[in-house]
Amino acid sequence: MNLVIDVGNTFIKIGVFDESDLVYKKTIEPSDFIEEIDIAHRDFSSIRQAIVSSVANLDDDAITYLKKLFSTLVVDHHLDMPFKNLYETPETLGIDRLALVAAAVDQFPEKNVLVIDAGTCITYEFKNSKEEYLGGAIAPGIRLRYHSLNNYTAKLPLLEPKIPINHIGKSTNEAIHSGVVQGILYEINGVIEEYCNIYPDLTVILTGGDAHFLSKRLKNSIFATSNFLLEGLNHILVFNNNK
């Protein structure tokens, strides 16, 4: 069994894989990391190896503790990937983005795939049928947009995300919901359309914390999954073990 850990900007996701099957998943606060690792170690005694991806700072003591329990692979830009990376500044490429591309290679081999990760940021990652990663785009996520309206204006309130009733906001709150949510839907649909103009056989994956919030409101045909990044990390671990 493999222990897969994704350290995000806000939370940490932990997954346990039996080969390619995700058998356990939990989202935790960073302060609960050691306790949750102990629980996984106790409940899944057959875990022998772990992989860690961190876009935030994970305490060195936490990594040291993890390495005492399991053979641990920490993902960085020097690690071999199951695809050819054509990004012009690979050293600046987020580790989470690499994992998403790895999942696309594993689950959709020899296909043109656009992965949209709707989290703190909305990222777009594209790999072609030759298993080449070409790059993508980074945009503010839903909550970043709500917070920016509140932080950079004098009177606009901070709201929780909500699907707008209609396009025309008849109050300030409705106008904010329409501007943020409808704007993101137009953006995502527009990006997909542009890629489809070049790659008509495009496969589109929508993942991340806001995937299900958005998926039913997108007009394009997509696959929505919340576990794509964890699955990509597991594939990177397997790939490096089989070299």
Q: Are both 102 and 194 inside the same structural domain?
A: yes
Total count of domains within the chain: 2
Q: Are both 139 and 212 inside the same structural domain?
A: yes
How high is the pLDDT of residue 204?
96
Q: Are both 125 and 205 inside the same structural domain?
A: yes
* Residues spanned by the domain of 141: 84-233
Q: Are both 68 and 89 inside the same structural domain?
A: no
Residue 205 is assigned to a ligand binding site: no
Residue 8 is assigned to a ligand binding site: yes
Q: Is residue 91 part of a domain?
A: yes
pLDDT single digits (tens) 38-58: 999 999 999 999 999 987 778
28 in Cβ contact with 22 (< 8 Å)? no
Catalytic residues: 96
Q: Are both 123 and 212 inside the same structural domain?
A: yes
Among residues 26, 50, 74, the one where a domain terminates is 74
Tokens found for residue 229: 């990044």
Distance CA 238, CA 20 (A): 9
pLDDT single digits (tens) 152-203: 999 999 999 999 988 999 999 999 999 999 999 999 999 999 999 999 999 9
Q: Is residue 240 part of a domain?
A: no
* H or E segment and range at residue 67: helix 60-69
Q: Which domain CATH number covers 58?
A: 3.30.420.40
How high is the pLDDT of residue 206?
96
Residue 124 is assigned to a ligand binding site: no
Tell me the whole-structure pTM to 2 decimals: 0.91
Tokens found for residue 210: 């806001």
